Structures are given as C-alpha cells and as structure tokens.
Amino acid sequence: MTENGMVKALMEEYFRSAIDLKEILSTVSDVEFQKNRDEKTENPECKSIQTIVSHVVGSGYTYINYINTISKIEWREYNNVIESSSMGISEIDKMLNYTQSSLKHILHFENKEIETWKFESRWDVIYDFEQLMEHAIVHILRHRRQIENFLQA
C-alpha cells in the first residue's frame, strides 16, 4: 500500500518549521525564557518566550486532536507548564513525534477522501486537513518570528 505523499510532505514541513525555533531556544537562558517581554499585550500566551512556547506546543496537540477525530483517537489535552528552554525543545519534539505517530493512522487514505474531512476549530474556523496542517506549520513560523523580535528588542 502506498503512503499518502501529501500527508508525508506536510509532516516533513511541520518538522522543518520547528528547526529554527528549537535552534533559537537552545541559545536562550532560563531567565530570558521566563522574562516578561510584553507588558501591553492582553493575550497571556504572548507575554514571554515561555508562554509562547507553551502555546505553540499546546496548539500542536490541539491540531492533531482534530485530525485524530477521524481515527477516533482520544483527545489529548496539553496542560504542562514549560519551565525552561531545554524543556521547551523537548516538549516540541514530543508534540511533533505524537503528531507523526498519529498521522500514521491516515497514511493509507487517498487525497480524494482526505479532502472531504472538515474540522471545526475552537476559534470558529472550519479547516480541511491540508489547511489545518498548513495552519500548524505557519503557527510555528509566526511564533518563531515573534520570539526573534523579543530577543532583538
């Protein structure tokens, strides 16, 4: 049975999107990681590198949870507190590995079937599979950029 090329490509790009983020985190001290950097934001997930990384990891689990509804895999809520940049790297890796493991359940589906799947998000947007995975990829990229801007300020 042939594995679905679209699913594999999106997963590879998801892993790739995290490379630069993890590289940046590897240079951040724990003090810098926890430092409050945006006093003005009302979004508690964007106040520090720590809260951003926790948000990225939690969101990653949310994205794959939506996709896992196809395979009827139990929802896995992420509520861990990420205390350090090294823990952040480890938790990103765990999230990506869980995503990859979960996607193995759908690798045998053809694009025609995958394209029929719809996922209604908590934020009231309806995605198809490809859109949800692309959103997950860009989500990491956007927050990597935000962290870079914090560090350059």
Q: In this predicted structure, what is the pLDDT of residue 46?
A: 87
Q: What's the CATH architecture for 5-152? A: Up-down Bundle (1.20)
In the numeric block, the tokens 């940046």 are attached to: 24
Predicted TM-score (pTM) above 0.75: yes
Helix 49-68 to helix 5-25 angle, to the nearest 10 degrees? 170
Task: Give me the residues of the chain with pLDDT under 50, please.
Answer: none
Helix 5-25 to helix 85-103 angle, to the nearest 10 degrees? 180
Q: In this predicted structure, what is the pLDDT of residue 64?
A: 97
Ramachandran sector of residue 57 (left: φ over 0; alpha: ψ -120 to 50; beta: rest)? alpha
For the chain, give every domain's residue range: 5-152
Ramachandran sector of residue 72 (left: φ over 0; alpha: ψ -120 to 50; beta: rest)? left
Q: In this predicted structure, what is the pLDDT of residue 1?
A: 72
